[in-house]
Amino acid sequence: MDLGSTFFYKYRRFIKTLKIYLLLAGPGLIVMLADNDAGGITTYTVTGAKYGYGLIWFLLLLLPVAYVVQEMTVRLGAVTKRGHAEAIFDAFGSFWGWFSFIDLAFVNWLTLITEFIGMTAALAIFHVPPVVTVVIVSIVMMLMVLQGKYWTWEKIAILFAALNVIYIPAAFLVHPSVVDVLTIGLVPHFPGGFNGTLFFFLMANIGTTIAPWMIFFQQSAVVDKGMKEKDIPWGQVDTLIGSAFTVLVAIFLVVVTGTVLYGVEVESAAQAATIMMTTSPYLGTFIAIGLFNAGFLGAICISLASSWAFGEVFGWAHSLNLKVREAPWFYACYLFALVTAGAVVLIPNAPLVLITLFVQVIAVTLLPAALVFLILLLNNEEIMGKYKNTTLQNIAGTAIVAAIIILSTLYGITTLFPEWLM
Amino acid sequence: MNAKTLFGERVGRVLSGWADTIRAINKKYEKPRITMSPAVKIALMFLRIYLILLVVLLGYKFWTMIQ
């Protein structure tokens, strides 16, 4: 075979593989990019402003953390054909089932409010009134699910997810010193020494990497997509690519704020965008659009995670492949979550900062349980068959889960009692 | 029958419907499917202690806030 034929053969094979991937890609990519939600974007913005490029090496460590946890949901969903809420009820009984379900519904609703806070703050920079943002976002999100096909919803969601990479061109706009990024960013060290504040930032970055809704969302999405055991390798690739993107986006955002706002006291991404608007309108616009998109992506995943969980537990029809008349309660749940969370943001003098802090505290009551159940389910031969965790997967999974539980718990406690850290 | 009584009856029917649904769910998932091996028992015990600790901390925070 000559060189031209070999090249053409390999090219065709690559295109075929890419087509299959694009067909099967979805839950992993969406959940990982949605992981960089409004809260995540704020964390990375503040991290960059506070420590410059100093913690980029730590963000790289989050790639295997996110992958190992979310990959387990792919296998569990594809093998059991059940969402995480239903799987907990079935395996651990009604006490743990109700605990996880009620906690999830509450945490998701509070997190949804924080996404709306991010979206309204981002568009307020362009002088869009919050009420207009809430109404338009709710309408668009309803239209996305009402078309009656999971596949269509997924591809629209991937389009929105692609906007999440807006921070990559934004980083090129600020002309960072590549040498500094590589030498300061990639060498593990604790900028300014290891102290309480730095520890809080490390915990915040870990805390934003894995949220309870992500576990429930991806497992339910895998089930709704109809993925089977044979699709697991594709789901794993999808999750790996998603994990790489989520970390890449976080790093580029840290590069942006680490270059432009290093040393500036910043409390939120919206505030950072407003400051940047005064010096570079393009950059400010990029950051604001990114924040809005992050909130939007988070909102579509979180509201769906709740609706799927309600459907699984109460036995209602719960699929994006069903029309409204076929799954009325599923769509009613979705609408109710959207409307009520949006309405809270519009209440004058609502304690939005308190809600944002409260989310972190409540999330740590659910996250350890969800992660422990995940590991236990993945080790059950009766449930998982040959897809149960291998020894290596267990070592990695247990170590990561233990680290997440310890750090996110400490994060929640220090949010509750900041004076204990100082 | 006045409107108030009618409304009360309807609310009662809805609440009793919900209670029936919850009872049915509890019955369906009465017995955990997972084998209660020592590892599972230890993990569940850890979760119980963890949650009790968190509730105590939240209670303490609430108590210090109202003081």
Residue-wise pLDDT tens digits, A332-377: 999 999 999 999 999 888 777 777 777 777 777 788 888 899 999 9
What is the rounded average pLDDT of the residues A113-127?
A: 93
Distance from the A227 Cα atom to the nearest Cα atom in chain B, whole angstroms: 23
DSSP percent split of chain A into helix, strand, coil, nearest 5: 80, 0, 20
Selected residue with higher pLDDT from A52 and A412? A52
Q: Where do we find the tokens 């790489």? A: A244
> One-letter amino acid identity for A130?
P
Vertex A134: Cα angle to A129 and A140 (nearest 5): 125
> In the prediction, which pLDDT does A337 show?
93
User: Which 7-46 residues of chain B touch chain A by CB within 8 A?
Assistant: 21, 25-26, 28-35, 39-40, 43-44, 46
What is the rounded average pLDDT of the residues A397-402?
A: 89
Cα nearest neighbour of A86 on chain B: B29
Give the one of A92, A97, A368 whose C-beta lies nearest to B50's C-beta.
A368
> In the prediction, which pLDDT does A421 show?
63
Distance of CA A62 to the CA centre of its chain: 12
| Interface ipTM > 0.85 | no
CA–CA distance, A61 with A41 (Å, rounded to integer): 17
- Reported residue count of chain B is 67
Residue A235's contacts (CB-CB under 8 Å, 6 or more residues apart) are A24, A27, A28, A71, A74, A75, A78, A222, A227
How many beta-carbon pairs below 8 A join chains A and B? 61
Give the count of beta carbons closer than 10 Å to the beta carbon of residue A61.
15
- Write down the mean pLDDT value for chain A: 89
CA–CA distance, A100 with A199 (Å, rounded to integer): 29
pLDDT band at A11 (very low <50, low <70, confident <90, very high): confident
User: Is pLDDT at A246 greater than 90 in this prediction?
Assistant: yes
Distance from the B55 Cα atom to the nearest Cα atom in chain A, whole angstroms: 9
Give the one of B30, B39, B43 whose C-beta lies nearest to A94's C-beta.
B30
Distance from the B29 Cα atom to the nearest Cα atom in chain A, whole angstroms: 5
Helices vs. strands in chain A: H and E counts, helices first:
18, 0
User: Is pLDDT at B3 greater than 80 in this prediction?
Assistant: no
User: Is pLDDT at B34 greater than 90 in this prediction?
Assistant: no
Q: Are A91 and A297 in contact (CB under 8 A)?
A: no
> In the prediction, which pLDDT does A346 show?
92
Give the one of A91, A314, A382 whose C-beta lies nearest to B21's C-beta.
A314
Q: Which of B22, B25, B29 to mutate to test the interface with A (most CBs of A within 10 A)?
A: B29
